[in-house]
Structure 1
Amino acid sequence: MAEVTCDKCDKFYVDPRMLLCLHSFCLECLEKELETQETQSSLHCPSCKEKVTLTENGVSDIPRDLHKANEANIARIREKVEDADDFCDNCGKTDSTGKAVAYCIECEDYLCKFCEGKHGKRRITADHSLITIGDMSAKAYTPTSMGKFYQPQMFCQQHKAHPLDTYCKECQELICIACMNFDHDKHREQCKHIERVAKGEIESLQAYQGDIETAVASLDTAIAKCKENIEKVEARKREVDSAITNSLEQARKALLTQTEAIRFSKRAGLEAQVDQLQRVRDGLSFAFKMIADTQSHSPAHLLSTKSVLAERTENMQREYQVSNLSPSQSSKFLTDISDQPIINKIISLGWVICGGHPASSTCNAGYLPRAVVGVPRTIKVVAHDKQGKALDKGGDEVAAKLVQTVSQYPPITGETIDHGDGTYSVSVTPEAVGEHELHVTLDGLHVNGSPFKYSITNPRAPAYTALSAQYPSISTSTPYDVALTEEGHLAVAEYGCHTVSLYSVTGQKIHPFGTANSYGSGDEQFYNPSAVAIRGDLMYVCEQTNNRVQKFSIKQRAFISKFGTSGGGNNQFLNPRGICIDPEGKVFIADYGNNRIQVFNKDDSFAYSIPCQGNPWGLAFDLQGHLHVAARSLNCINVFIPDGTLVTSYGSGTISTPAGIAIDAEGYIAIGENGGYNRLWIYNPDHTPVHTLSNQFNGGGNGIACDENNSFWVADYGYNRFVKY
């Protein structure tokens, strides 16, 4: 009876409505449920609590479940006939000759044998559906077989005499011929007879079944793995319990408290994951059954629920695709039971830890989101606990996979080295060009920032040992710096004419920010723009004379905000000359005159500063996330960890007055000199020189950018051009 009764009122469905979660309830029950909720704009399913957004008409606009309504009507008839000990409603006889032998569905009357015969001969009742009471009592009619002959025709509520025998694909609703001629006349070509439409819709719904079967199988496997890990967690807990018990009794309770907390956390996480996966599985299985049942539906019943069924199936498939099919918690507990506890510090008996917390753990994969086919990319992962503290012990399961975005090629799995101190090295080698995602996980869950978008290209040709300028160069006005947009356009800081312009790689000017040859200090006005950097849709521009930074939306071509004034304090500048952005959106600015790097959060607030002697100019992040700074007056490149720790320096004795700097997807470094020999240098990733070109600029080499093909674009201030190498 559960298939034909409402879960809310436990009675046969009356005007049932199907929610997006595929649960159906009587219209009146949903109206009563809505009255108990705080908002009238949405409704939570009484069964699964999934939220359904309502239109201004409320629950009355929720699609009718005609299939459920029909089954409920059949069940009502069956119940009435099976329990019948009635006499004929037509002739009213109450003796043996008036004993009911049939039931008319349309008239809802019991008929004796004589009236049954007359009923079939009268013109007005000749096509009525009669059920033989004896056969029904013997259960000769199942709900399915009854449904095949009992398909009551539905009529239009607006045009009462016309049956609902047409389906409008444009509006996705059942209509009559009058509706088609008047209300739907502008798209009559989208209106087809329900028999014709239903056949195609059944096929389109059945196409989901293969994907659902695959998804359900994967979910079953994932659920089994999670349950297996639950058992392993319990088993490991018992092992730890035994180890601790065999140690000094004074420390046992303290360590077991830690262990119990971890066990509870892991189990809760895994059980929550099982519940989530089970819910997705149940939803897909339910959708699968509903699609299978459509074969016995009438066209009207099918089309009344098709859009909800298809939408629910697609929603559940999307939820399945983003579901984590690996256990969210590993089964291990890391332990260290000491044999020499300090009595006054019981906790020092040993340690029991859960391991790294994925969302708090970090890696340097996002600093340069490009790589080259056949060249290994090594990523450093640092495990942190839930409070963000770096761990000093290894043992976590760290992995990386490179997944091609659009191709069906299998993902490339990286190789992991556990250094035992809470840090890990993961190496992955790209095999195909194109857009990829790099998934970096700890115990099966993404670390902070993962997955990372990666662009994979072929190795540079020709090699850097054969480097040369690719003419013709592109003319512009006093370019000081250059950056690449996501669309592959060039953003050029035009120092002398006080604009920042977008160019195509063929030299066509697309859009100027600011007014040419007109300087100022207002919004979207520039006074000697000296540096430009781009991250996604955001473009940051340093102004040397205004001593500030402006932020723009490239897509909207609009000013967003600005920060900075003249001076030597925080958020003050003296001739800012370089800028770059890290994966988290932090902005690093070379404060040339104040001999420092100032760092700002993505909300433009000041974060911290890094002392950097030698008049810092160009800035660039390498593959490891280290910050390379062109120290112009020291004739070298300084390399910092982003927190400000100096790692190394290189170029001293070879480079003269470095200004622009950029790093490609293989780690090669391009350095432009501003003055002196006006050379362009190429350095290996190990900071040794590979190649140099002399007399390339006229006081240029100020700004350099690397495109997705590992070509370097150099701003040549003196010759009013930018050149591709």
Structure 2
Amino acid sequence: MAAANLLEEFDNKLLTCSICKGVYDNPRTLPCHHTFCANCLELWRKGQRRFTCPTCRQQVKLRGPDVSSFPSSFYINNLLDFRAVHNSSIKRPRASCGMCESYASIEGTCGDCKLLLCGNCLTGHGNCPALKDHYIIAWNELNDPSSMLRVNQTQYCPQHTDQRRTFYCQPCAKLMCQDCVTADHQPGPNHDPQEVGLVAQKYVDELQTLVGKSQDSADALKKTKAVVGNELTIISTNCQIVKKEIQEHFSELRAKLDKEEQEVTEKLVKMEETQKEPLVKEEKELEERLQSTEEDRKFCTDFLSRGNDVEIITLRKQLGDRLDALSSSQIQHQSLKNHISFLPTVNINCELSLTCKPLVITDPPVASLPTTIIFIPNEGQALETNPLITVTSPQGQHAQLDASRTNEGAFQAVWRPKTVGKHEVGVTMGGGGRLCPTLSVHVGSNDPVLNFGQERFYMPLDIAVSGNRLYVADELVRNIQVFDLSGNFCHSFGTPSAPWSLSVHTDGTIVVNTVTDVVKYSQSGEELHKFSTREYCTHPGGLAVLKDGRIVVTDSGKHCIFLFEANGTLVKQLGGKGSAEGEFDTPASVCVDRNDNIIVSDMKNFRVQVFDKDLNFQYQFGQEGQEPQDMCRPMRVSADSKGNIVLVNFNHCDRQGIQVYRSDGTWVATFSSDITYHIRRESCGVAVTEDGHVFVANSQPLCIKKYRYL
């Protein structure tokens, strides 16, 4: 049964045609490196000589009368041969070894001899000097994806079937065996037979150079895509500001202008869509080009790592042409210049137009959160030094922000508003006058956008977000409660003892630390597996699950963290009380980021430590202090899909702050919640969503609160 499951997974991952969803039959590879059944391609092209790839939609031109003119995939054909032999063994319950003819368990095959082999003969076959070049693979290698890279069956000469094709005649562009060289391809003016390995190595070097050059194209695509994404954000933010201006203006004339306001707002929406449309299209095209480039580069890298000399020689020109095309591709992007402006008039009729605004805010300003102010000088407005961006609060307090020059010739500064209300933003040059008209900006508050559960919780210790669901571990009720992201209750299920922490695996299962045990549940609450931690832990606390199912548990009593297999087998213990790298003083919480890095809040060392998935130290950040970026009692920690790290930190006044850091530990923002210190300060679970919000568990009062953090 295990072998059958492995073979099914093998088929799904490597041998399934994306058109017919079946196992490849006569696989053919297109110039874009996507492979399909020959018959599927014939049906797909519908008799046309030009057609698009079913996967990437790249234009393809037929080279001959039918799709057989496209090269066959050596790699996939070898895997198909391997599959066929494997199928023959599992269909014959008493298959005998092809060498010793015993009925010992068949453990592999020799593709050259076409024999099924038992374990002893498999080892002996591979160790025999005369058979050392034979194509041998064991069934258990299906478990290791890296072993697939060596599936390179020997290619035999079609004329001399007992001879391997070990030579390549470059003038003839033909692979051949030793007998072919002797008979028809003696060295001379028209023939130059060389060993396959030497020719292949030369082509490998050429292709490696082209792979390196294509990286420049990939980097340029990424950079341009980031610029386009930023400009899309600027458009959205600018339109939100303009919408606010529209609302303020029409509020003064509400009785007479309701209809006009609606029409102008709708026009704004249409103009926003119109302005975004070419950028959205460009972003999509860049994404497709980037994806195609990355796929081509990965294909070539994998192709070269397999080291199949025959395949390298056969596909060298095709790969070289493709990589040449990638390296020489031109990337053009015209920077965003015009922005929608609101032009009020003294009469009821108002207009919207595209104008070049000198001041732009990238994100709607919210108290304590960072936003970027961009100043775009007028054409001909030469600035010898960087200007100062000034901000005046509603209370009349002035702040000056240092601006830095961007690659596009604009200037930008990061602004973290401290108060809510209407602010005036301007630009000056030292002690001189203003360089542009001031911009009025409304700063919103960062009060909770959602507050729920006051009547449902008794002691919510930890929370987790997965997809569109929020999971809450309640210690006193001894259950896990499930909500949607709007705070609507979905269902709950009980736990045998108090749940202290929880995490949701990528497969949807819920893993809970109940102090004495780690328990895995299905999404419906059915217990699937559990193991005890009492042998290792004295005060287990935080818990996180890696992508491969392994589980990390913090222990504040031993000042350690433990790494377990999914079945409870201890893999590694790390730590001990101290302040050196890999040591801890009360590790309070743990989470896993998008790259499977393990992030630990080291509370009494006032820092966060980051490890790889095997608990090897990577880096740390944080220090004790009173500044917004400093730490006092770092407690629960969470990480989003963009790499940001969100930390719950209690300050010296026992007020809880939410701190946001980049993946490298660079501080981004700190904002205060209205949650105060409680004797059970562990009850401050934190979990982030994909739309820039964070849920925080609160024990005084008992509820869950949702804030915006980006």
TM (normalized to structure 2)? Answer: 0.42
Structure of greater Rg = 1
TM (normalized to structure 1)? Answer: 0.41
Larger relative contact order (Cα-Cα within 8 Å, sequence gap ≥ 6): 1
